[in-house]
Each structure stands twice: as structure tokens, then as C-alpha cells.
Amino acid sequence: MSSPPRRAAWRKGLAPYLLSSPAGLWLLLLFIVPLLIMLSITLKTCSPASGQCVMTWNWGELPHVVNLYRTQFVTSLIFAAVATIIDLVISFPIAYWIAFYGGRRKNFFLIMLLVPFFVSFIIRTLVWEFILSNNGVVLTFLKGNHLLPSGFHVLGTGFAVVAGLAYNYLPFTALPLYVALERIDRRVLNAAYDLYANRRVAFMRVILPLTVPGIFAAFLLTFIPAFGDYVNQEILGGTANTMIGTVIQNLFLIDSDYAGGASLSAVLLVISLLGIWLYAKLLGSRTIEEYL
């Protein structure tokens, strides 16, 4: 029979596992199991006619679909990278101003930044389609004042897709940047000014280096979902700028090629994990908890 102190120590050591078990079960059922099922489908051979898949351990499906849809991969990579860079350029001054000059109204400004994104993702994209349409407010005004030729259009182009991606994923960039800027110790800045650094030097030598983890986190949080997005391309890009997310959707829902869709999804998963691994390798795993 164990002594009371040993029993108490055993209960104390077991407590963290018991407290985390609901979240662990939730993660197992809704993430780990579906992920394993998806990965297993990549090794199956599926019949588009019947929709039935048979395990054949076909490892050749993965390089085949990557080679078949490499153009869509490149298009998605370019669109996601450009949209992420645009968001970084737009979000950094906003996050900087809120963090350093927002004062007591920081929370209010953050809420105002996020209010438009309380609306459904689809609705926001449809509104963006209306704004960029040939009869929309912007193009009608510019064409009416002869600032653009009458045949000029935006919808159905890569520009419209990038604009939609940049708009829809802006909060994913702004919030990590704000967290990184807010965490900067103001005494470090005061020390820089005491050493006769002007604002430009203090920004380049103090603020920007200390914000690098937040910039990297913002890049990952924006680039990864934008890379696999298909809604913006479907609504704003037409058929000429197909992204890999649209291909995956069509393979699953239209062509019934579950093995091909699962293989492409696995590739996106690997790209996401590589980005997170690189983040942890360069900046340390602790910063993932702070910014992601």
C-alpha cells in the first residue's frame, strides 16, 4: 500500500494529463484521424466512375499529380506570395501606429480593424467582386473620367485574385505584427534615443530587428491559407488563373479523384510544415507560442 505522500505526488503528476485529455481527444478525433485517413487515400487507386478506392500502395500518385498540376502550384505560389507581401506593407504601418500611438484606445482600433471581417468570407469576396466589376463604383468612375480605356477590366485577372487574397487575409498579418510591436520594451527605445539615435536609426536598429519573429509569423499565417485558397480564384479570377486549391476542390467534388485530391492536399500540408519547421529553426520554437 502506497504512502499518502506518494499517492498525492502521483495524483499531482497525473493532473495535467487529465486536464488536457478533452483537448487531446478533440484533436485526435477532428485532426489526427482525418489527417491519417487523407494520407491513406494518397496510396489508393480510385475509380472516377464508381467513386470507389482500393488500397494499392500506389506511391506514384504523389509525384504524378505534382508534375501534372505544376502550373497551378506556381500560380498559387506567386499569388499567395504577392498578396502576403502586400499585406505586410499595408499592415505594418497600421500595427505600428496602434502599438506606439494608440494609447488607451488600442483595443478600440484593433476592433475597428477586425469589424469588416466579422462578415462571412464568401460575402466579403462577393462584395469585392461587385467593387471590381466593370459596372462597379471604381471602374465606372475611372472610365467616366477617361482615366482608363473603356475596354479595361479587372475581374478574371490575376490582379483581382491577388487583391481578394490580400483583403481577406489582412487580419492574419496585422495581428501578429501588432503583438510583436506591442511586446517591444519601450526602455530599449529610450536607451537608443539616449545614445543619440534618431527615429530612423532607432527603427532600423531596434524596432525592425525585434519585430522579425512577428513578421515571419505574419508571413506564415497569411501565406499558408492564401496558398490553398480557392474561393477568391473561383469568384474573382475566372478560369484563366486556376489555383491549386480549386484543383483540389474539383478533384474531390467533380472528378471523384480522391487519391489525386488527397495527394495534392498532402503536398500543401508538407509545405505548411516546412514553413513552421523553418520558423522554429531560425527563431526558436518558443516564439511560435508567442506569435502563432
Distance from C-alpha of 44 to C-alpha of 258, rounded to nearest angstrom: 9
Q: Residue 65 domain-assigned?
A: yes
C-alpha torsion sign, points 114, 119, 123, 127: negative
CA angle in degrees (0–180, nearest 5) for 23-287-115:
70
Q: Residue 4 domain-assigned?
A: no
Q: How many CA atoms lie within 13 A of 98 on its CB side?
A: 23
45: left (phi over 0), alpha (psi -120 to 50) or beta: beta
Q: Residue 232 domain-assigned?
A: yes
The two beta strands, 44-46 and 53-55, are antiparallel
271: phi then psi, degrees, rounded to nearest 5: -60, -40
Q: Residue 116 domain-assigned?
A: yes
- Tens-place pLDDT, residues 41-84: 888 877 766 667 777 777 777 788 888 888 999 999 999 999 99
Q: Which residue segment(s) compose the domain that 87 sits in?
A: 61-291
pLDDT of residue 286: 54
Q: How many CA atoms lie within 13 A of 282 on its CB side?
A: 12
Q: Residue 195 domain-assigned?
A: yes
pLDDT of residue 168: 92
Distance from C-alpha of 42 to C-alpha of 60, rounded to nearest angstrom: 9
Mind listing the pLDDT tens digit of every residue in the chain (292 residues)?
Answer: 456 666 666 666 777 777 888 888 988 888 889 888 888 888 887 776 666 777 777 777 778 888 888 899 999 999 999 999 999 999 999 999 999 988 888 889 988 888 888 888 888 888 888 888 888 788 888 888 888 888 788 888 889 999 999 999 999 999 999 999 998 888 888 888 888 888 888 888 888 888 988 898 899 899 999 999 989 988 888 777 789 999 999 888 888 888 888 888 888 888 888 877 887 777 665 555 555 5
CATH number of the domain enclosing 109: 1.10.3720.10
Q: Residue 148 domain-assigned?
A: yes
Q: Residue 262 domain-assigned?
A: yes
Q: Residue 200 domain-assigned?
A: yes
Look at the block and give the residue holding cell 499558408.
Answer: 224
* Structural domains counted in the chain: 1
Distance from C-alpha of 95 to C-alpha of 176, rounded to nearest angstrom: 9
